[in-house]
Amino acid sequence: MRLILLGPPGAGKGTQAQRLVHKHGIVQLSTGEMLRAAVAAGTPIGLQAKEVMASGALVPDEVVIGIISDRLDQPDMKNGFILDGFPRTVPQAAALDELLKKKHIKLDAVVELRVNESALLNRVETRVAEMRARGEEVRIDDTPEVLSKRLASYRTLTEPLIHYYSERRKLLTVDGMMTIEHVTREINRILSAIGATEPKATPKAAATAGARKAAKPAGKKPAKTAKKAAKAAPKARKAASKTPKRAAKKAKKPAKKMSKKTAKKAVKKVTKKRAKR
């Protein structure tokens, strides 16, 4: 299973990604984590990213795509992956398509969690108010003001991906305003509907199923044949006993008829000879 999760900040992409990872045994790919891992490992693309990050600039798309390319070659990717937070723009999506095409990897679906932005802002405002009332510290990036900026950025940069993947018939939309459990069930339902979650039979299981299928009719047909043969045997014996008698009768009838004809012909010949004399 190979998926991309789309949705604005606060839509619940991270929660649903973790549930998909747990249920289907796939790998969640986070560009931030992949960048840090590549830098720590000292790979060529990781060293390139390290220089860019050290300067405080944004990592170019080609570097991010290079890191994703290296990650897709790892053994743990055989069951599939889920991309959360990438691609963020149409050019990134086009570059990802080219990468997957080169690696002969098929993207199963892009799941969009559609939410009401006003409702998201109300949720954050309520949560922040409750935390402050309890005297708890509120994170700087978890405020209505920050969320408003992130939502505006999403609308400008990422929302065009909905049209991009819809044109390619990859987009599946889920109501992200439902409860977490309902969203999870709906995602699994639509993935099952398109065949993305169907388990593939192992060679051993297929061989066992084939052996059972072959053995089942093999046990029934001889039994039926034996019963039919047993029922037909008395009829065959009766027919066999009648055959000689019928043959004998047929043989006698022609013989009698032939002898009478021959006698008549002989009498006619004798009569003609006498008449000539």
DSSP assignment of 89-126? SHHHHHHHHHHHHHTT----EEEEEE--HHHHHHHHHH
| Gap between the terminal Cα atoms of the chain | 117
The pLDDT of residue 141 is above 60:
yes
2-26+79-200: CATH architecture: 3-Layer(aba) Sandwich (3.40)
Residue 275: the pLDDT is: 55
The pLDDT of residue 146 is: 87
> Is 13 annotated in the active site?
yes
* Rounded-to-integer distance, Cα 9 and Cα 14, Å: 10
Per-residue pLDDT, averaged over 181-202, amounts to: 81
Residue 138's pLDDT is 80
Exposure letters 13-28 (e unless 16+ CB within 10 A, then b): beebbebbbeebebbb
| Weakest-pLDDT range from 8-12, 38-42, 182-186, 198-202 | 198-202
Q: From the candidates 102, 134, 139, 249, which is the catalytic residue? A: 139
Given CA atoms 105, 95, 72, 198 in this order, what sign does their dihedral have?
A: negative
**Tens-digit pLDDT profile for residues 1-35:** 999 999 998 898 989 999 999 999 999 998 888 88
* pLDDT recorded at residue 200: 43
How much is the pTM?
0.65
Of 2, 13, 71, 170, which one is the catalytic site residue?
Answer: 13
Distances, alpha carbon 129 to alpha carbons 52, 142, 147, 263, in Å? 39, 12, 15, 134
- Annotated active-site residue in 19, 23, 114, 127: 127
* Per-residue confidence band for 271, with pLDDT thresholds at 50, 70 and 90: low
Domain boundaries, given as residue ranges, for the chain:
2-26+79-200
Is 150 labeled as catalytic in the residue annotation?
yes
Asked whether the beta carbons of 93 and 165 are under 8 A apart, the reply is: yes
Q: Note the pLDDT tens digit of each residue in 84-101.
A: 889 999 999 999 999 999
Rounded to the nearest integer, the mean pLDDT of the chain is: 79
Mean pLDDT, residues 139-157 taken together: 86
* More confident of the two residues 201 and 11: 11
Q: What is the pLDDT of residue 203?
A: 42
**49 pLDDT band (50/70/90 cuts)?**
confident
Orientation of helix 31-41 relative to helix 61-72, angle to 10°: 80
| Closest among 78, 79, 97, 77 to 87, alpha carbons compared | 97
Catalytic site residue 127?
yes
Residue 114: CB atoms within 10 Å: 14
What's the CA gap between 92 and 59, in Å, rounded?
Answer: 12
Q: Any idea which of 66-70, 144-148, 191-195, 228-232 has the lowest mean pLDDT?
A: 228-232
Q: Contact at 8 Å (CB) between 71 and 60? A: no
H helix or E strand, kind and range, residue 160: helix 160-167
Q: Pick the catalytic residue from 19, 88, 114, 123.
A: 88
Interatomic CA distance for residues 243 and 49, integer angstroms: 99
Q: Is 88 noted as a catalytic residue in this protein?
A: yes
